[in-house]
Amino acid sequence: MTSLENNLVADGERALVRRIADGGPALVALSGGVDSALVASLAAEALGSDSLAVTLVGPAVAQEEVDRATEVARSIGIRHQLRSSDPLARAEYRANAADRCYHCRSVETETLREVGAAERVRQYLDGVQADDLAEDRPGRRAMDEAGFVHPLLWVGWGKATVRSVARSRRLPNWATPSNACLASRVAHGDPIDAELLRRIEAAESVVRAEGFRQVRVRVRGGAARIEVDPDEVARLAAEPLAGVVRERVGAFGFAPVAIDPRGYGAGRSALPVVR
């Protein structure tokens, strides 16, 4: 960044802290991602003990994300709670239509609002940032309906600025690849259940254990397609590693198992499996 850009970001940071402070006691929906981590950091600075980070735990949330959120909260020094929330209780979510995320967030915000009411919270904050606006996200509509506000949008920050500020604040996940709920791996129209989500989480873990940072195991029917960062595809596709990984992923009940030659791409769960 140029010195002018740095100054603008610093001004935005101070403005965010002031505005959050003016809003009173706050609850931050904290995932393991950098966007909500930065909002939690700003809220802790603005409000101290009047800020609370809440991480939801459920069948669609990978344990790795919960562990990362816990690490982030500890690093920031913000009060932190883990709360169970199960969107699988809603039939519309299990059906996995295109508006699945709306039903998921509707269930989750009910839990978050219950926590907030007990804590006498006056504002509910999340990590939506400017780059998110480029996509139609039904989950954001549910957050809006529940009264959540998006501090990062107040200053127009996208992912690059978020990572830069998070790095300056020494947040442990500032460079961590973006993630999404486990249900995002399942092609729309294929029903979702807890057992399928557990198998996806386990399959991704065995791929990640080979040193890959960004991993998706996307499924349609019984088939699975493995995605890693584009610059890591060649390593994954080379034998004998390719065969080993396909066998280990297949051990969780997926067949056939393919490696996507394009590498990771957001929102590909509805595409045909590459064979």
Question: How confident is the model over 214-236, as a mean pLDDT?
Answer: 97
* Strand partners of residue 109: none
The CA-atom distances, in angstroms, between 189 and each of 95, 260, 268 are 7, 21, 14
pLDDT exceeds cutoff 90 at 96 = yes
- Map out the domains of the chain as residue ranges: 3-168, 182-259
pLDDT at 268: 57
Question: How confident is the model over 70-99, as a mean pLDDT?
Answer: 97
Sign of the CA dihedral running 203, 205, 210, 213: positive
Contacts of 110 (CB under 8 A, 6+ apart): 85, 146
* Strand partners of residue 53: 28, 80
pLDDT at 153: 97
**CB environment 219-251: b (16+ within 10 A), e (fewer):** bbeebbbbbbeeebbeebeeeeeeeebbebbee
3-state secondary structure of 210: coil
Cα–Cα distance for residue pair 261/226, rounded to 1 Å = 9
Fold annotation for 3-168: Rossmann fold (3.40.50)
pLDDT exceeds cutoff 50 at 90 = yes
pLDDT at 270: 44
How far apart, in Å, do the first and last CA atoms of the chain sit? 42
| Residue 43 host element (H or E) | helix 34-47
Q: Which two tokens stand for residue 88?
A: 């699988």
pLDDT at 179: 86
Model confidence, pTM: 0.92
Cα–Cα distance for residue pair 214/273, rounded to 1 Å = 18
pLDDT exceeds cutoff 80 at 172 = yes
Q: Which residue in this structure is represented by tokens 């990062």?
A: 152
| Residue 125 host element (H or E) | strand 123-125
pLDDT exceeds cutoff 60 at 273 = no
Cα–Cα distance for residue pair 146/149, rounded to 1 Å = 9
pLDDT exceeds cutoff 60 at 159 = yes
Mean pLDDT taken over the chain = 94
Residues 20 and 125 sit within 8 Å (Cβ to Cβ): yes
pLDDT at 6: 77
